[in-house]
Amino acid sequence: MKKPVFKRIVLKVSGEALQGAKAHGIDNNVLLAICRQIREIKQLGVEIAIVLGGGNIFRGQENSASLGLDMDRSVADYMGMLATVINGLALQNVLEKNKLPTRVMTAIEMQRVAEPYIRRRAIRHLEKGRVVIFVAGTGNPYFTTDTAAALRAIEIHADAILKATKVDGVYTADPMKVKSAKKFSSLRYIEVLEKRLKVMDATAISLCMDNKLPIVVFSLNKTGNIKRVCLGEKIGTIVN
């Protein structure tokens, strides 16, 4: 059997990816597809932590503006963090129904719902073979779940961030809108910042650059892609 190139990963899944074909909310078929792919990489011996977005439920100030609400940025961000908790519990439910031991760890304490995030405990869960789901972002407003993914990956000594999106990599423009957009096979961190490419936000990219943490951006829609990335196949776009 081919050996994985990564021992421990942080999988970043956007809220929009969880809604699938729906206008909002959670598509159970997407959760089941993620569950199957996680089982595949667990069988390779890869330790998996997951960071979820919340844009399928509430997307901070963007949603508050569309609803005509004059909402403070901090309030909107806290609402977005709570949306990620809902997504985390939904994914945990599906994983555990499929016999995959899971822990949800939250940056905002809510002891009846999830464990508080403690770095050493998170690492111990991973070492014991549990899937760890990080929710509530960093616990602070003005920071995105991209930054949370970068921060948690560095803290738990992950080998890479795998960013699962609706498109198969990073392009010069939105490929859904611009047909002539070209895909990058690889990028340097500084190029992402200079070209203002929408890989992750600037804070997350800077954290990864300072700590030499590679990011692989790929499509979640194609079955088996997470396993392919873990085995070192050249799919999507790698930022290093």
Per-residue confidence band for 58, with pLDDT thresholds at 50, 70 and 90: confident
Q: What token pair was written down for 154?
A: 């560095």
pTM higher than 0.85, yes or no? yes
Q: What is the mean pLDDT of residues 8-20?
A: 91
Q: 65: part of which helix (H) or strand (E)?
A: helix 60-66
- Distance, CA of 151 to CA of 190 (rounded, Å): 18
Per-residue pLDDT at 48: 98
Per-residue confidence band for 61, with pLDDT thresholds at 50, 70 and 90: low
**Which of 6-10, 46-50, 164-168 is the least confident region?**
164-168
Q: For residue 163, which phi and psi values (nearest 5 degrees)?
A: -100, 110
For residue 209, pLDDT over 90 is answered with yes
Is the CATH number 3.40.1160.10 carried by domain 8-239? yes
For residue 73, pLDDT over 80 is answered with yes
Calculate what percentage of the chain has a pLDDT beyond 90: 72
For residue 54, pLDDT over 80 is answered with yes
Instruction: Look over the chain and give the mean of its residue pLDDT values, rounded to a whole number.
Output: 91
For residue 157, pLDDT over 90 is answered with yes
Per-residue pLDDT at 113: 94
**Which of 21-25, 93-97, 134-138, 203-207 is the least confident region?**
21-25
For residue 80, pLDDT over 70 is answered with yes
For residue 173, pLDDT over 90 is answered with no
Q: Which residue has the higher pLDDT, 120 or 17?
A: 120
For residue 62, pLDDT over 70 is answered with no
For residue 230, pLDDT over 60 is answered with yes
For residue 151, pLDDT over 90 is answered with yes
Q: What is the mean pLDDT of residues 97-101?
A: 96
Q: Which residues are 170's β-sheet partners?
A: 184
- For 134, how many CA atoms within 13 A lie in the half-sphere containing its CB? 32
**Which of 62-76, 172-186, 190-204 is the least confident region?**
62-76
- Distance, CA of 70 to CA of 121 (rounded, Å): 39
